[in-house]
Amino acid sequence: MNPTTARTTVGIIGGGPAGLLLARLLHRAGVDSVVLERCDRAYVEQRQRAGILEQATVDVLREVGAGERMDHEGLVHHGIELRFDGRAHRIDFPGLACGRSVMVYAQTEVVKDLIALQLAQGGPLLFEAEVSRVTGTDTDSPVIHYRHEGQDRTLACDAVVGCDGFHGVARNVFDGPRVFERTYPYSWLGILADAPPSYDELIYAHSERGFALASMRTPTVSRLYLQVPNGTDPASWSDGQIWDELDFRVATKMNRGAIMQKSVLPMRSFVSEPMRSGSLYLAGDAAHIVPPTGAKGLNLAITDVVVLARALAHRQATGETALLDSYSADSLRRVWRAEHFSYFMTSTLHTAPDQSPFETRLQLAQLDRIASSPHAAAELAENYTGLPLRP
């Protein structure tokens, strides 16, 4: 056989958490796959992204054998705290969301765990494999064209799954998708600090000077965010200014330490419909992006591939395509629910540049409603911890 050509059942473009988990789920179901990742392993394992895992994400990682280190090092959180208008109100997740909770465990660590499993037990995982195009998606035998180890190669598949993000190749194969998007008039200045958190659970703070989020990576490392104008240069904020502003917005004297990393994260919502084109399927950021306020991005990608893995395994076992045929519609219902929740959290907690006092009072009224109504608090808790997947 020509070494530059190969065949598999499912070709997966992108070796982030979605692509790696999909490969793991398919392997356990007896479905062959190959993962093509354009970056090297070191880069993939260091990409900083989300760190809040929903209950369903935690459960599936345990199910596929990627839960041992997560359960040892991850931090289980049973609630969050809302701070606004001089008040603090805790949202009790288990009490309001049928016992569910979330876990703080960085995406970098999820990726490391899944890579180790894939290399030890799964199918091929090729790093530095640059995909140039996908052809034949209108047939039952699509082909991925890529370059690896200095050679142009092809991978013939029964199905291709694009887990390669917003700027990846897979999304651009679609012919005339419907695109829905919103760009928010503010960004997040995020820092990673060598300082133990000043709090046991995440704090979401609404203030007259903008939003702040107090989070953590480990018991000794804090992950903190400030709302800033779009286009902000992170170097324009000194360490002292950052700590002083966090103290004011969170209304807590923060534990201070060396700031190891500063970055600015733009805020946007994006959905591309449909999530399927013939034998090509999209998952994760290739199909949708949410602002980080609701902690949905990674979790939404995970639920995409859980649903898709079931459908692909079902087709191999039975020859039936009904689950694959409904993948896009089923996923988009869940995507739009997450988009709405993320929009709600973002618009309720942030201060727009041209915001009027009337709009601020509406925000405070909504936050007061959550603090005073178990029904409103339960709606937030259920969405934050993750709505259960349908069977």
Domain span holding position 376: 5-179+269-385
pLDDT of residue 51: 82
Domain annotation covers residue 206:
no
User: Which of 344, 338, 348, 335 has its CA nearest to residue 385?
Assistant: 338
Position 3 scores a pLDDT of 60
**Torsion angle, alpha carbons of 167, 173, 176, 182, to 10:** -20
Q: Specify the pLDDT at position 1.
A: 33
SS3 for the chain, per residue?
Answer: CCCCEEECCEEEECCCHHHHHHHHHHHHCCCCEEEECCCCHHHHHHCCCCCEECHHHHHHHHHCCCCHHHHHHCEEECEEEEEECCEEEEEEHHHHCCCCCEEECCHHHHHHHHHHHHHHHCCCEECCCEEEEEECCCCCCCEEEEEECCEEEEEECCEEEECCCCCCCHHHHCCCCEEEEEEEEEEEEEEEEECCCCCCCEEEECCCCCCEEEEEEECCEEEEEEEECCCCCHHHCCHHHHHHHHHHHHCCCCCCCEEEEEEEEEEEEEEEECCEECCEEECHHHCEECCHHHCCHHHHHHHHHHHHHHHHHHHHHHCCCHHHHCHHHHHHHHHHHHHHHHHHHHHHHCCCCCCCHHHHHHHHHHHHHHHHCHHHHHHHHHHHHCCCCCC
Which listed residue (27, 206, 288, 296) is catalytic?
Answer: 296
The catalytic residue among 17, 27, 77, 288 is 77
Residue 142 a catalytic site member: no
Identify which of 190, 349, 193, 339 has the alpha carbon closest to the alpha carbon of residue 265: 190
Q: Are 37 and 131 in contact (CB under 8 A)?
A: no
Compute the average pLDDT of residues 385-390: 81
pLDDT in tens, 154-208: 999 999 999 999 999 999 898 778 999 999 999 999 999 999 998 999 999 999 9
292 is catalytic: yes
At residue 291, does pLDDT exceed 60?
A: yes
Residue 85 within any structural domain of the chain = yes
Averaged over 290-317, what is the pLDDT? 96
229 lies in a domain? no
Q: Is 150 exposed, middle or buried (0-12, 13-18, 19+ CB in 10 A)?
A: exposed
Is the pLDDT score of 307 beyond 90? yes
* Chain segment 44-62, per-residue pLDDT in tens: 998 766 689 999 999 999 9
User: Sorting pLDDT into bands at 50, 70 and 90, what band is 20?
Assistant: very high
For residue 225, being part of any structural domain is answered with no
Cα-based distances in Å from 115 to 207, 210, 213, 351:
41, 39, 30, 40
User: Confidence class of residue 391 from pLDDT cuts 50, 70 and 90?
Assistant: low
Q: Which of 390, 385, 347 is nearest to 93 (CA)?
A: 385
Mean confidence (pLDDT) of the chain:
95
CATH number of the domain that residue 81 is part of: 3.50.50.60
Query: 206-220, pLDDT tens digit by residue?
Result: 999 999 999 998 999
- The residues with which 263 forms a beta bridge, in sequence order, are 190
Q: Is residue 356 in some structural domain? A: yes
Interhelix angle 297-318/327-349, rounded to 10 degrees, is: 170
Mean pLDDT value of segment 83-105: 96
Our answer to whether residue 77 is catalytic in this structure is yes
**Residues 63-92 pLDDT 10s:** 999 999 999 999 999 999 999 999 999 999
Residue 11 · residue 161 · CB < 8 Å: yes
Q: Percentage of residues in the chain with pLDDT exceeding 90?
A: 93
- State pTM to two decimals: 0.94
Range 209-234 average pLDDT: 95
Among the listed residues 223, 264, 15, the one whose alpha carbon sits nearest the alpha carbon of residue 105: 223
**pLDDT range class, residue 389, cuts 50, 70, 90:** confident
130: number of Cβ within 10 Å: 14
The answer as to whether 354 is a domain residue is yes
Asked whether residue 256 is domain-assigned, the answer is no
The encoded tokens of residue 67 equal 């839960």
Residue 346 in tokens: 């973002």
Number of independent structural domains in the chain = 1
Q: How far is CA 365 from CA 85, 91, 93, 378, 388, in A?
A: 10, 17, 22, 17, 29
Which amino acid would we find at residue 350?
H
77 neighbors 215 (Cβ within 8 angstroms): no
292: number of Cβ within 10 Å: 21
Choose the catalytic residue: 17, 142, 197, 292: 292
How many Cβ atoms are within 10 Å of 357's Cβ, its own excluded? 7
List 105, 184, 186, 204, catalytic entry: 204
Percentage of the chain lying above the pLDDT 70 cut: 98
Active site residue 186: no
The two structure tokens encoding residue 146: 């890529």
The residue-averaged pLDDT of 282-310 equals: 96
Q: What is residue 47's predicted lDDT score, i.e. its pLDDT?
A: 76
pLDDT-based confidence at 388, cuts 50/70/90?
confident
Q: Is residue 211 part of a domain?
A: no
